Amino acid sequence: MGKIEEKNFQKKLLSMSNRQENLSAEALEHKILKRNEGILTSTGAVCVSTGKYTGRSPNDKFIVDEEPHSSQINWGSVNKPFSKGNFDLLYKKVVQHLQKKDEFFIFDGLAGADQQHQLPIKVITEYAWHNLFARQLFIRPQPQELRDHKAQFSVISAPSFKADPSIDGTQSEAFIIISFTDRVILIGGTEYAGEIKKSVFSVMNYLLPQQNILPMHCSANIGESDDVALFFGLSGTGKTTLSADPERRLIGDDEHGWSASGIFNIEGGCYAKCAGLSRQNEPQIYDSIRSGAILENVLCDDENIPEYTDTSLTENTRAAYPLTNMDNIKLPSMGGNPNTIIFLTADAFGVLPPVSKLTTDQAMYHFLSGYTSKLAGTERGITEPMTTFSACFGAPFLPLDPTVYARMLGEKIGAHNVDVFLVNTGWTGGAYGKGKRINLSYTRAMIKVAVQGELANTETITDPYFGLQIPAACPGVPDDLLKPWKMWEDYKEYEEKAQNLAAAFEDNFRKFSNVEASIKEAGPQIK
């Protein structure tokens, strides 16, 4: 893919005297404070508010309907089409909006640590703190790379530009629109910085499979013997927490590619949830929130000390910081082919085993299912735990059919003899409200022996509902905890919850009608 051929109005924008290009983190922090975009906290991080949008807006995300790309997109509720005519008009309006500002900010960066598969990007932002976010979350070029930098995709973010749905063809004032022909991502009407990060990931999820590279919504770390472990999981399952292991170096916490030669981080930073953050439970993350970091929607006391336990503004409080803020990292952010894959789920119904070994068919089944639970209080209107399924543990970011990614995963697991485990970080002894959350120390112990290869050939028993192979014993973990039914006081109640969850899995999987019978049969069995 060659250099972007910018439209004339974008060329004019990039030549404007009010542009601020590739400022240092310190210079951007100075701009943030001077422009009253945020405050400086006691940790040295800046803290900002994202206004009414404290999370992603999936209903406001679109892909431009244009060939030859349209025939490849998996159109539906995730990938909604946007007309080329409306996009061109909106594109011009956003650029003109930025031209009128006293200043705007440009960051030239990279997506992808593997130089053979990097995507050079240009991030143009209205706010200084969004540019600092991009600088810290993506890969920062070395001086020579910056001189030779030729962007292949642009992100243009203008939060104060509000769309008019009746004129612009959007659903609301906010919009996130990807054009694979113009190689542009337009973002407006929302200040939530996660849209910048995730829209680039969506682009990589479209481009990388064309190079036979599997893009993955996962974290990764590496041991002393260069053994690589991947951690897949939806929000709240512990993906960032569990991959930040003091005994292993972190490759990345959220997005990776898997090529023929191994895995590589797509990003250059971390975007960690902050709700309930403490040094005791997550020391590496806690200590990384210092100069160069950005706190989103975290409330502070009168002395600007962050109060991570206060989620009255939103449950989705976040910290963005460069990988270099952490001590125990792998640079460059690459590793060989994985030895172990961990699928994380937080089962609020208390019926999935804390750890189980998966066959390749089971791995593809659970990868396509992408199960976890939403808890009461995390979203308006949710009063009971709800089953949540997100294909490939990242459905909102998949332009292609999920089975494309699943088949690539299955092929790579088989080719490299990868051990795959399903780890439940949720509840035991009963459902949410009656049982209790599995102790983090037990989860860490299970993952430790799994990545060390000690569970690969251990004696197992078969879960009666989900067909999963449960280790009969695991060092550092009570034997009964491994078998969920033994932790319930009322076995009949366990059976009822297990059958209900098994039925939910089966209902969800009906949409994958084009997968092999062996994968369909690898799911739970309703009795």
Q: How far apart are CA 134 and CA 142, in angstroms?
A: 16
- Is 310 designated active site? no
Burial class (CB in 10 A: 0-12, 13-18, 19+), 40: middle
**Torsion sign over Cα 54, 56, 59, 61:** positive
Q: How far apart are CA 323 and CA 366, in angstroms?
A: 30
Please spell the DSSP secondary structure of 32-69, one letter per residue.
Answer: HHHTTS-EE-TTS-EEE--TT--S--GGGEEEE--TTT
- Is 239 designated active site? yes
Helix pair 360-369, 491-509: axis angle to 10 deg: 80
Helix pair 25-34, 128-137: axis angle to 10 deg: 150
User: Tell me, what's the pLDDT at 17?
Assistant: 84
* Tens of pLDDT, residues 175-230: 999 999 999 999 999 999 999 999 999 999 999 999 999 999 999 999 999 999 99
Q: What is the pTM of this model?
A: 0.93
Count CB-CB contacts under 10 A for residue 125: 25
Contact between 38 and 47 under an 8 Å Cβ cutoff? The reply is: yes
Domains parsed from the chain with CATH numbers: 339-520 (3.90.228.20)
pLDDT band at residue 381, thresholds of 50, 70 and 90? very low
* Tens of pLDDT, residues 267-294: 999 999 999 999 998 898 999 999 999 9
Section 327-349 average pLDDT: 96
Helix pair 194-207, 128-137: axis angle to 10 deg: 40
Closest alpha carbon to 215 in 184, 251, 259, 174: 259
List the catalytic residue out of 31, 117, 122, 217: 217
- Helical ranges in 84-142 per DSSP H: 84-99, 128-137
Question: 215: number of CA atoms within 13 Å, CB side?
Answer: 28
Q: For residue 352, what are the contacts with CB-CB under 8 A and spacing of at least 6?
A: 345, 422, 424, 426, 466, 468, 484, 501
Q: Decide: helix, strand or coil at residue 215.
A: strand
List the catalytic residue out of 114, 168, 254, 361: 254
List the catalytic residue out of 318, 357, 374, 412: 318
For the chain, give the mean pLDDT: 93
Q: Is the pLDDT of residue 115 over 90?
A: yes
List the catalytic residue out of 41, 50, 56, 241: 56
User: Tell me, what's the pLDDT at 6?
Assistant: 62
Contact between 193 and 296 under an 8 Å Cβ cutoff? The reply is: yes
List the catalytic residue out of 130, 183, 239, 249: 239
User: Tell me, what's the pLDDT at 377?
Assistant: 41
Q: For residue 325, what are the contacts with CB-CB under 8 A and spacing of at least 6?
A: 288, 289, 290, 292, 293
User: Tell me, what's the pLDDT at 10?
Assistant: 73
Contact between 364 and 522 under an 8 Å Cβ cutoff? The reply is: yes
Section 23-48 average pLDDT: 98
- Exposure string of 310-336, with b = 16+ CB inside 10 Å and e = fewer, is ebeebbbbbbbbbbebbeebbeebbbe
- Is 217 designated active site? yes
Closest alpha carbon to 65 in 43, 49, 84, 90: 84
Q: How far apart are CA 233 and CA 510, in angstroms?
A: 21
Q: Decide: helix, strand or coil at residue 437.
A: strand
> Rounded to 5, what percent of the chain is helix, strand, coil?
30, 25, 45
- Is 318 designated active site? yes
Helix pair 402-416, 360-369: axis angle to 10 deg: 150
Q: Is the pLDDT of residue 379 over 50?
A: no
Count CB-CB contacts under 10 A for residue 67: 9
Q: Decide: helix, strand or coil at residue 309.
A: coil
* Tens of pLDDT, residues 413-434: 999 999 999 999 999 999 998 9
Question: 152: number of CA atoms within 13 Å, CB side?
Answer: 14
* Tens of pLDDT, residues 293-316: 999 999 999 999 999 999 999 989
Q: 40 - beta bridge partners? A: 46
Contact between 482 and 353 under an 8 Å Cβ cutoff? The reply is: yes
Q: How far apart are CA 519 and CA 515, in angstroms?
A: 7
- Is 30 designated active site? no
- Is 463 designated active site? no
List the catalytic residue out of 240, 243, 317, 333: 240
The pairing of strands 104-111 and 19-21 is parallel
Q: Decide: helix, strand or coil at residue 286.
A: helix
Supply the DSSP symbol for 121. E
- Is 56 designated active site? yes
